[in-house]
Amino acid sequence: MLTDEVLREVRELKQDCIVLAHNYQIPEIQEVADFVGDSLGLCRAAQRIDKPYILFCGVDFMAESAALLNPDKTVLMPDLEAHCPMAAQLPAEVLRRAKEEHPDAAVVLYINTRLEARAEADIICTSANAVKIVSSVPEKKVLFGPDANLAWHVQRHVRDKQIIPVPEKGHCITHLLFKREHVERAREEHPEAEVLIHPECTPEVQLLADHICSTEQMVRRVKESSAKEFIIGTEIGLVHRLRREFPDRRFYPLYERAICRTMKMNTWEKFMQQLRERKNVVRIDPGIAERAMLSLQRMLELSA
Ligand code: SF4
């Protein structure tokens, strides 16, 4: 619980700085953020910034997207070492080799990818718009990476295309923690609850869901649903946001230990340090910025 004194200090320090926070950030950071959302929402929020500093509380690929969209602003991170392990699973050279093997394929990359690889893509997607983006490309064959579980989800919905995951078994280590037993136990304990599962979970777990949703789609589902209870199959941070926004509903994490260590590298102490000192500046290699920006812009235009 943040004291009035701390909140006052944050307000003063934030006068020239916007705080963007991903749904998986610690509760204290979510409390003081100007915008809390998923990768797509954060990209859109980054396009509307009217202050010279952005303190981006998330992981590397998200802050890099904000920096691409705001070349005239200073983008900071509480911890510059917050590198998403999934993004590291698709080095640019692996993607280049796949492109050589499949010259007739479109390249759609999940935003959770390093910029060097994103510079090789035709278009970027998030888990919220992956089906729509893949459906929109004219090619019948699509190289999709790095998340093979999200690729599986997209293939279920886009039957007329061949989705080739690159790498073959890319995954999020946090969402891999969810197992069939967790869903079965949660359903037994909370028989009235709707089960919402993120598409980064394995196909086995996805098939047990009532709804497969990105984090923002989970928020929307809760808003629209008449259910009073929900089992949340994604990183624990979203449960905090849902409890805050919907105090009349009940939320049960599918597995309390599904915690993304990288997201949680952004501690309150590091957050305050950057608000005060502003040293952790996100820098983009100018050699890849233009191409990485193009694939990101295409997604934003298509999902507008
Ligand atoms: S939850 Fe998974 S995909 Fe998201 S930042 Fe953590 S490791 Fe990367």
Residue 58 CA to ligand 1 centre (angstroms)? 10
Instruction: Supply the pTM of this predicted model.
Output: 0.95
Return the CATH architecture of domain 4-82+263-284. Answer: 3-Layer(aba) Sandwich (3.40)
Closest CA to 115 of 297, 290, 300, 302: 290
Q: Using alpha carbons, list the distances in angstroms from residue 237 to 14, 109, 118, 198, 242.
A: 23, 24, 27, 13, 9
Mean pLDDT of 114-132: 95
Give the percent of the chain with pLDDT over 70: 100
Cα(141)–Cα(22) distance, integer angstroms: 32
> What's the pLDDT score for residue 48?
87
85 pocket-lining for ligand 1 (C-beta < 6 Å) = yes
Residue 104 CA to ligand 1 centre (angstroms)? 30
Partnered with residue 60 across adjacent β-strands are: none
260 pocket-lining for ligand 1 (C-beta < 6 Å) = yes
Span 47-63, pLDDT tens digits: 888 899 999 999 999 99
- What fold is seen in the domain 175-253? Rossmann fold (3.40.50)
> What's the pLDDT score for residue 257?
96
Q: Is the pLDDT of residue 26 over 90?
A: yes
Outline which parts of the chain fall under CATH 3.40.50.10800.
Answer: 4-82+263-284, 87-171, 175-253
Q: Is the pLDDT of residue 291 over 80?
A: yes
CB 34 within 8 A of CB 57: no
Mean pLDDT of 253-262: 97
Mutate to test the pocket of ligand 1, among 260, 261, 265, 266 (most ligand atoms within 8 A of CB): 260
> What's the pLDDT score for residue 59?
96
Cα(212)–Cα(31) distance, integer angstroms: 27
DSSP 8-state code for residue 17: E
Closest CA to 200 of 237, 258, 168, 153: 153
280's tokens: 């952790």
60 pocket-lining for ligand 1 (C-beta < 6 Å) = no
302 pocket-lining for ligand 1 (C-beta < 6 Å) = no
Average model confidence (pLDDT) for the chain? 96
Q: Which atom of ligand 1 is nearest to the CA of 86?
A: 8
> What's the pLDDT score for residue 46?
85
Q: Whose CA is nearest to atom 2 of ligand 1?
A: 172
Mutate to test the pocket of ligand 1, among 25, 83, 172, 257 (most ligand atoms within 8 A of CB): 172
Give the percent of the chain with pLDDT over 90: 94
Q: Whose CA is nearest to atom 3 of ligand 1?
A: 172
Residue 140 CA to ligand 1 centre (angstroms)? 29
Q: Is the pLDDT of residue 304 over 80?
A: no
Which secondary-structure segment (H or E) carries 220? helix 215-224
Mean pLDDT of 89-93: 97
Report the phi/psi class of residue 162: left, alpha or beta, with left for phi > 0 and alpha for psi in -120 to 50: beta
184's tokens: 């079965």
Q: Which atom of ligand 1 is nearest to the CA of 262?
A: 6
Question: DSSP letter string over 238-299?
Answer: HHHHHHHH-TTSEEEES-TT---TTGGGS-HHHHHHHHHH---B----HHHHHHHHHHHHHH
> What's the pLDDT score for residue 79?
98
222's tokens: 């809760």
Mean pLDDT of 2-11: 95
Cα(109)–Cα(145) distance, integer angstroms: 5
> What's the pLDDT score for residue 108?
98
Residue 40's identity, in one-letter code, is: L
> What's the pLDDT score for residue 236?
95
In this structure, the chain runs to a length of 304
Residue 40 CA to ligand 1 centre (angstroms)? 15
Q: Which atom of ligand 1 is nearest to the CA of 59?
A: 5
Q: Is the pLDDT of residue 39 over 90?
A: no
Mean pLDDT of 166-176: 97
Q: Which atom of ligand 1 is nearest to the CA of 24?
A: 1
- What fold is seen in the domain 87-171? Rossmann fold (3.40.50)
Q: Is the pLDDT of residue 40 over 90?
A: no
Span 189-241, pLDDT tens digits: 999 999 999 999 999 999 999 999 999 999 999 999 999 999 999 999 999 99
Mutate to test the pocket of ligand 1, among 61, 77, 127, 174 (most ligand atoms within 8 A of CB): 174
Mean pLDDT of 108-136: 96
